[in-house]
Structure formats: structure tokens, C-alpha cells
Amino acid sequence: AQSVTQLGSHVSVSEGALVLLRCNYSSSVPPYLFWYVQYPNQGLQLLLKYTSAATLVKGINGFEAEFKKSETSFHLTKPSAHMSDAAEYFCAVSDLTGNQFYFGTGTSLTVIP
């Protein structure tokens, strides 16, 4: 069985500060891992994905995430927050077929000017 846990349902950072959104996964097999972003009143958009290639994955809008097997983590980071980064972020894990997607409960990011 697979699952993801997102620590912190709400995160606030100042504009220009480091963004760190935490995600830990549970999986009995090497998983595929994803970060999605949801802007207000919109659907989910893929930020980045890990599919057993490089452990450091770069995504859109300056975001990146590092797969750490020893810590079962896939935390999302961005060196400098921008006001436009304010959104809901979801971590997800899938099995190798990708048919079973398990989403975390989401983290709402607020960027303070």
C-alpha cells in the first residue's frame, strides 16, 4: 500500500525567502512521486515528477524536489518565493502503472509581501 503525508497544512513565507514544503511517502516498492500545484479556482497542474532517474528533480517555476530514499521524503523547495507562488500544493505517489494515485492532504502556501 502507498500513501503520502504532507507536514503542515499551511505554510507562510516572506517574499524572497526559501520555500520548503514537506512530503513523506510510504511505499513497499520504488514509487513514482509527484508535486502538483492548484491555483485558486483551477485544476491541478503538474510541477515536477520523480520516476527513478535523477534524485534531484527540477520542475516549472523554479521549484525542485529531492528524492531521499533513506528518509522516504520528497520535499519541495524553491530558493526565493514569489507572490505568484501562493497556491495549494499536493504531493502524490503512484505505483509503477500510475493507475493508483494517492494524494496528500495538501499544503496551502501563503507568500507575505
Partner 1 sequence: DAGVIQSPRHEVTEMGQEVTLRCKPISGHNSLFWYRQTMMRGLELLIYFNNNVPIDDSGMPEDRFSAKMPNASFSTLKIQPSEPRDSAVYFCASSLRLAGSYNEQFFGPGTRLTVL
Kindly list the residues in this chain that would bind partner 1 in the complex (CB under 8 A). 32, 34, 36, 42-46, 49, 51, 90, 94, 96-101, 103-106
Of 11, 5, 19, the closest CA to residue 47 belongs to 19
The three-point CA angle 45-29-77 to 5° equals 40
CB of residue 37 to partner 1, shortest distance in Å: 11
Residue closer to partner 1 by CB (options 19, 37) is: 37
CB of residue 29 to partner 1, shortest distance in Å: 13
Residue closer to partner 1 by CB (options 104, 109) is: 104
Measured CA to CA, the distance from residue 65 to residue 49 in angstroms comes to 9
CA dihedral 96, 100, 101, 102 (to 10 degrees): -110
Residue closer to partner 1 by CB (options 34, 67) is: 34
